[in-house]
């Protein structure tokens, strides 16, 4: 869940909702010098459903017992976070193995970052994070080998194309989070793939009240409008999960529309 302040409330946006936003951007991706991903259907599915492991958690969101606030996705306990990612990877594998490979790579990258942070801070659960990473590496190796035997995926698992597709998933996840979280500072995403191969560029994102300007512009229509729906909760501590879940069931919805426009590099 994304929890952000908005108009005197907490606006809570589910992880699957944010992922659908990323997937909608993936569908519109491909304005030159960028290219649509290949295989397109599988990459779009991976981007749009990369957070499907959160579905059960979002139905009954977790509560921080220390603050009484609904948990933001960066506040998740390690064990719960790993269970969500294992569930999501398995669910995607059952839907499509190539999409599952990309989601496994994405989850592993996020948990690798969390392990690096835990090593700096002395946070516990490092062993469980290492076990998850080893498990995903074995899975990815088996998937690359198996998919490489199938004509549709032979080129798609070669390092250049697989890396480009994985980087696109990472980028659109980050861009969706930036907008859903209401970030206001300009950001530059480095190493954005321009299609298969080693060509890369930097993508400059300048947030605006109604969306953002991007340079170079990556979408096939301009402007491009995308919407997400969250729920509004009162800004107050909840005494227990039952109180949060009762408020969640009655929370009014709030729809946000983000309009993305072409920006000027270096502006």
d(CA 220, CA 208): 20
Summarize the confidence of residues 152-164 as an average pLDDT: 96
User: In the sheet where 187-193 sits, what is the strand order?
Assistant: 2-6, 9-13, 224-234, 253-262, 211-215, 200-208, 187-193
pTM score, two decimals? 0.96
Average pLDDT of the chain, as a whole number: 96
pLDDT in tens, 210-261: 999 999 999 999 999 999 999 999 999 999 999 999 999 999 999 999 999 9
Which pLDDT value is given to residue 197?
66
Lowest-confidence segment of 51-55, 74-78, 147-151 by average pLDDT: 74-78
Both tokens of residue 209? 């009240």
Angle at 47 between CA 263 and CA 253, to 5 degrees: 80
Q: Which helix (H) or strand (E) holds 204?
A: strand 200-208
């Amino acid at each position: 869940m994304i929890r952000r302040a908005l108009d005197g409330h907490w606006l809570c946006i589910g992880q699957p909702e944010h992922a659908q936003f990323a997937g909608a951007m993936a569908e519109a991706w491909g304005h030159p010098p960028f290219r649509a991903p290949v295989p397109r259907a599988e990459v779009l599915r991976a981007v749009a459903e990369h957070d499907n492991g959160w579905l059960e958690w979002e139905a009954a969101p977790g509560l921080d017992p220390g603050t009484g606030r609904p948990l933001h996705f960066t506040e998740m306990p390690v064990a719960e976070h790993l269970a969500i990612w294992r569930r999501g990877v398995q669910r995607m594998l059952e839907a499509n193995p190539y999409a599952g490979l990309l989601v496994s790579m994405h989850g592993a990258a996020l948990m690798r970052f969390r392990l690096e942070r835990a090593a700096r801070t002395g946070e516990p659960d490092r062993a469980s994070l290492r076990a998850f990473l080893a498990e995903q590496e074995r899975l990815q190796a088996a998937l690359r080998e198996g998919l490489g035997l199938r004509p549709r995926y032979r080129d798609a698992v070669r390092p250049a194309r697989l890396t480009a597709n994985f980087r696109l998933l990472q980028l659109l996840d980050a861009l969706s989070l930036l907008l859903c979280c209401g970030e206001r500072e300009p950001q530059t995403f480095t190493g954005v793939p321009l299609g298969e191969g080693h060509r890369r560029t930097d993508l400059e994102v300048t947030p605006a009240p109604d969306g953002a300007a991007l340079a170079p512009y990556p979408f096939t229509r301009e402007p491009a409008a995308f919407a997400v729906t969250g729920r509004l909760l009162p800004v107050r501590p909840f005494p227990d999960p039952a109180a949060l879940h009762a408020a969640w069931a009655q929370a009014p919805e709030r729809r946000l529309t983000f309009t993305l426009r072409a920006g000027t590099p270096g502006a």
